[in-house]
Amino acid sequence: MYRYVIFDLDGTLLNTLKDLAAAGEYVCAQNGWPAHTLDEYRYFVGNGIPKLCERFSPADQRSPERLARTLEQFTRYYDAHKEDATAPYPGIDTLLDALQAAGVVFGVLTNKAHPLAKGVLEHYFPGRFTFVQGALPGVPVKPDPTGLHQLMAAMGADAASTLFVGDSNVDIRTAKNGGLAGCGVLWGFRTEEELRGEGADHIAADPAALARIILE
């Protein structure tokens, strides 16, 4: 049994893909840039919103000054529309109930900006998450383990008893960089092949399977 669990947010707890893509496409349309498909956004996301903005921007629109304006456009639109199509994945509330009943301490580590992360978590999971670490100035984002170790210290977690759960290679790499076991989930944005290729210790097909991995 794992006594501590740290979740990724986008693609793991919440299906945020459509709202992230809509914000990106709004920026592209406003600037007359080429459009992208929803599937393309599955690979644009995962390394934080600044990197997402860089990925959907044309190659000749990636100067630091231009990217700063793009990030401002994106953030303003996304903050106003971040709950239009976003929803928890089916079974997540039941999973959290089971973990809470078993005394498992859980938190969230995400590359989403910290204020945005806190906002969506409180909206969709009110009172559920005491321990949240989003992207903060001066703190490297995943897969760098700095934020992970800060969150673990706040939780009182030790590496041997902690599982990191996410849907992408970034998350499995974060777990490895932090000295943790990593579990890849198959309901998110990326593929089982990617997760296994990155060396996931566990694979969960659905939240019920994840509960068994954590509690058994």
Q: Give the residue numbers annotated as catalytic, written as ranges.
A: 8
Q: How confident is the model at residue 38 (pLDDT cuts 50, 70, 90)?
A: very high
Mean pLDDT value across the chain: 97
Q: What value does the mean pLDDT take over residues 201-209? A: 98
Query: What's the confidence (pLDDT) of residue 193?
Result: 98
Query: What's the confidence (pLDDT) of residue 190?
Result: 97
Query: What's the confidence (pLDDT) of residue 169?
Result: 97
136-171 pLDDT, tens per residue?
A: 999 999 999 999 999 999 999 999 999 999 999 999
How much of the chain exceeds pLDDT 70, in percent? 100
Q: How confident is the model at residue 129 (pLDDT cuts 50, 70, 90)?
A: very high
CB atoms within 10 A of CB 84: 11
Query: What's the confidence (pLDDT) of residue 84?
Result: 96
Q: How confident is the model at residue 184 (pLDDT cuts 50, 70, 90)?
A: very high
Query: What's the confidence (pLDDT) of residue 143?
Result: 97
CATH of 4-15+86-215, one of 3.40.50.1000, 3.30.43.10, 2.60.40.420, 3.40.50.2300: 3.40.50.1000
Q: How confident is the model at residue 178 (pLDDT cuts 50, 70, 90)?
A: very high
Query: What's the confidence (pLDDT) of residue 134?
Result: 97
Q: What value does the mean pLDDT take over residues 167-180? A: 98
Query: What's the confidence (pLDDT) of residue 155?
Result: 98
Query: What's the confidence (pLDDT) of residue 131?
Result: 98
Q: How confident is the model at residue 50 (pLDDT cuts 50, 70, 90)?
A: very high
pTM higher than 0.85: yes
